[in-house]
Chains A and B, each alone.
Chain A
Amino acid sequence: MKFILRTFVIILPVALISFFYIYINDNDYYPGADYRNYDIPQFELTELYSKTNISNEDLEGTYLINVWASWCITCRVEHGFLAKLSNQNIPIIGINYKDEREDAIKWINKFGDPYKLIIHDYKGSLALDMGVTGAPETFLISDGEVLVNYRGEVNNMIWQDVFIPVITKYELFK
């Protein structure tokens, strides 16, 4: 009896910790990353600068969607990395989220524009349909289908660990 108890008090925590260890090291586990595939929702919004209408038809091929706002401090931190991606000829569509048009334009003028085009989502309706919980958030999309979504700041580490495996798997950006 004593022996069983003595081993049990060690085995139980070891089992528990190992479970979590395996769980965390599992490829699928990345807090903030979501690998579910779904089509981007129908929308009808305007472009930030030109105020021309944009809908699903205007988006094609493989690209990133990055949700940002001028009030979002993390977006500023992330901005430098987006510029690098843009320099590697990776198209990025911006969704300007719950922001005043002037504030957003001022922000872009100050920090640079890595975006191919920017959708002005003042009410956050498109973001809501896409399941955005806050800014920043980044989606990898190919032919209208979301392949991976990351909540939070995308930096080199996240790019390598979350996005590159998906890009390699589907052979994108070739």
Chain B
Amino acid sequence: MLIEIAQFLTILSTGLFFLNFLFAFFFDSSDRHMASLVSKVYTHSSLLLATSFFIYVWLAVSDNFSVLYIAQHSNSNLPTFYKITSIWSAHEGSMFLWILFLVLWGALFNFVTQNSQDLKVKSMGVISIIIVGFLLFLLLTSNPFETILPIAPVNGADINPVLQDPALAIHPPFLYMGYIGFVIAFAHAIAFMVEGNPSIKWESLVRTWSIAAWVFLTIGITLGSWWAYYELGWGGYWFWDPVENVALMPWLAATAFIHSLSVSSKSSSLRIWTILLSIIVFSLSLFGAFIVRSGIIDSVHSFANDPERGLYLLTFIGILIIGSMTLFSSRFSMLSSGSVIKTFSKESFISINNIFFGVLVFSTMLGILYPLIYESIYEQKISVGAPFYNAIFVPMAVLACIFLFFSIGAKWQRKLVISSFVNSISISVLISVFLVLLAYKLLSIHGTWELISIFAGSIIIVRYLFVIWDYLSNKKYSNPFSVIAHIGLGILMISISLNNELSTERALNIKINQSDTYQGYQIKLTDLKLVKQPNHDSIQAVFLVTDPIGNNFYLKPEKRKYFARGQITTETDIHVTLLKDIYITIGDQLKDGSWIVNIQFNYFIRWIWFSAIMMGFAGVMLIVSLNKAR
């Protein structure tokens, strides 16, 4: 009964959202009563959908295995927490969550803004029709409410073991919040172009929303990277997996977008860029959903499914993207500000930045498309991997850093006078050259691009330290968010380079109570235990590791066998130090009784995530300050 109620509420809310779209677009949106009607209808339809989702959560928690999806992805032995997260462990449920977030972003926006705010009614209309598109997709092609009646199974098939992990439980929600959060900016861009009144400052209306979405996306990607590192046992932080790439593209475009926004919300220059980028960011988010859910690309993330889904999504996002681009093209002259951007002004540097990000997005897209095009022409499968992306990303990132370096201190609408920064620029370069030489001599880093990247990262950090110094001693204002985020970028450049050059790994064969040494570390296999858990058995190996100074610590990697699906997983164990992770996994037992033990020293990997968190943190601070100023 509950299942039918939930499904009915979803269908009902679909109808109401569609009605809302009609109200917003085909009636006079400047009418006060109409505006309040749109707002109220939206609130009610989102309540219906949220209720439906909460019923669904309840169905999962109460082990209602007559729901096909819950039977396929949950199990009565799971802790309640994983019963809930099992909802987004596969296609139908995660699509439901995606829609819930879409609805919630709109609801939050609806709740905190006045009905009289410019563009609000039309933006709500755009959001509503996007919700309708996704709800129809859910109900027609991927219905999470489908039942197995009359005989429901006694128990469910269990969530995939690698997904039984706290990081994964929150990684998809963060990502979805990020992807779909850009709907507010997109809806406003569309509403702005439809209204056709260039005096409306749409940019300042969406700034907080867009930065919030960007923060979610940044943290979501970082969580995914961290999860793949320790749970999948991949031992690295980024793999250019197609689905990582479809998350990276909106992130790159969004980064360009929020930079552009900061320009356009002050003066109306770069407006064309900002509008275009807002469409591109959202389109890339939708494109990501299409790539992942159509099963076009083989990846750890892909959901096995039928082509109807791909076709539906493609048609839907095709209409949205081509429609908004056509609108953009027809409003081109309205959007051109006519103001000329001065060379070496802050705006000019941000435009250059946009071009860099554009190239990176385009190259990533090419990396995804190339195997598909190749396959349709030569009927052979190939894959594009790290060498391609490194060849493009590394030089582009270095160049972008150098432009950023020279842009520090640039002013809005005024030409930057480099001569006033000669001291800090030259000292930053000198210090960085010195650091590079140190890296070369002491850490024996010999890769050309690694050295160049260290240089690029360090000039930014040192230059910003000057800015901070200037602020502390002369009270010279600087934008603290930009300082923190960009120092994060500098740390990212350096830690990626060091990680790439210094990290090592080795497979050892160790028998019980025997030891082996690797890079001055003594590794002794002291014990093997069979640990019984409610839903899996595990073999736990206990290693006593002695570091070169003589400190001891234990590492306990596992191999698990999950009962429900018979799946075997390896669990890594990691000893974290300031500079490196000691990362250990166990493989199979050999005929002579020894175990294959894989040990990795991953340098500066924590710093990579730390730098991403710094960027996200800067975003959060910026949101707080924007709302205080209001």
Q: Which residues 352-384 of B have a CB within 8 angstroms of A?
A: 369, 372-373, 376, 379
CB of A13 closer than 8 Å to a CB of B: yes
Question: Once the chains are docked, how many angstroms separate the CA of A157 from the CA of B153?
Answer: 25
Instruction: Report A-chain residues with C-beta under 8 Å of the C-beta of B465.
Output: none
Q: Which residues 4-30 of A have a CB within 8 angstroms of B?
A: 5-7, 9-10, 13-14, 17, 19-26, 28-30
CB of B326 closer than 8 Å to a CB of A: yes
Instruction: Report B-chain residues with C-beta under 8 Å of the C-beta of A14.
Output: 322
Instruction: Report A-chain residues with C-beta under 8 Å of the C-beta of B157.
Output: 71-74
A23 touches B566 (CB 8 A): no
With contacts A2-B332, A74-B72 known, is A19 near B322, CB below 8 A? no
CB of B142 closer than 8 Å to a CB of A: no
Q: Quick one: which of A10, A26, A73 has the most chain B CB within 10 A?
A: A73
A31 touches B156 (CB 8 A): no
B72: which of A13, A69, A73, A99 is its contact (CB, 8 Å)?
Answer: A73
A32 touches B294 (CB 8 A): no
A9: which of B276, B311, B376 is its contact (CB, 8 Å)?
Answer: B276
B318 touches A17 (CB 8 A): yes
Question: Once the chains are docked, how many angstroms separate the CA of A145 from the CA of B332?
Answer: 59
Instruction: Report B-chain residues with C-beta under 8 Å of the C-beta of A101.
Output: none
Judged by DSSP, the binding face of A is helix
CB of B565 closer than 8 Å to a CB of A: yes
Chain A: residues with Cβ within 8 Å of the partner, total of: 38
B376 touches A26 (CB 8 A): yes
A71 touches B329 (CB 8 A): no
A32 touches B304 (CB 8 A): yes
CB distance from A4 to the nearest CB of B (A): 11
Question: Once the chains are docked, how many angstroms separate the CA of A9 from the CA of B325?
Answer: 6
A10 touches B311 (CB 8 A): no
Question: Once the chains are docked, how many angstroms separate the CA of A13 from the CA of B332?
Answer: 17
Instruction: Report A-chain residues with C-beta under 8 Å of the C-beta of B317.
Output: 17
Question: Once the chains are docked, how many angstroms separate the CA of A26 from the CA of B332?
Answer: 36
CB of B321 closer than 8 Å to a CB of A: yes
A23: which of B326, B329, B376, B564 is its contact (CB, 8 Å)?
Answer: B376
Q: Tally inter-chain residue pairs, CB-CB below 8 A.
A: 93
Q: Quick one: which of B68, B307, B336, B373 has the most chain A CB within 10 A?
A: B307
Instruction: Report A-chain residues with C-beta under 8 Å of the C-beta of B72.
Output: 73-74
A73 touches B329 (CB 8 A): no
Question: Once the chains are docked, how many angstroms separate the CA of A131 from the CA of B302?
Answer: 17
Question: Once the chains are docked, how many angstroms separate the CA of A151 from the CA of B305?
Answer: 9
CB distance from B107 to the nearest CB of A (A): 29
Instruction: Report A-chain residues with C-beta under 8 Å of the C-beta of B328.
Output: 9
CB distance from A142 to the nearest CB of B (A): 22
Closest to B293 in A: A31
Q: Which residues 71-86 of A have a CB within 8 angstroms of B?
A: 71-74, 76-77
Closest to B329 in A: A6
A73 touches B304 (CB 8 A): no
CB distance from B420 to the nearest CB of A (A): 35
Q: Mark B550-584, 1 if CB is under 8 A from A, else 0.
A: 00000000000000111000000000000000000
Question: Once the chains are docked, how many angstroms separate the CA of A29 from the CA of B298?
Answer: 13
A13 touches B283 (CB 8 A): yes
Question: Once the chains are docked, how many angstroms separate the CA of A148 from the CA of B329?
Answer: 46
A10-B325, A17-B317, A73-B153 known, 20 other contacts, Cβ within 8 Å: A5-B332, A7-B329, A10-B326, A10-B329, A14-B322, A17-B314, A19-B373, A23-B296, A26-B376, A28-B379, A31-B296, A31-B304, A32-B305, A71-B565, A73-B72, A74-B157, A98-B565, A98-B566, A99-B566, A134-B565
Which residues of A approach B to under 8 Å, CB–CB?
2, 5-7, 9-10, 13-14, 17, 19-26, 28-32, 69, 71-74, 76-77, 97-99, 124, 134, 151-152, 157-158
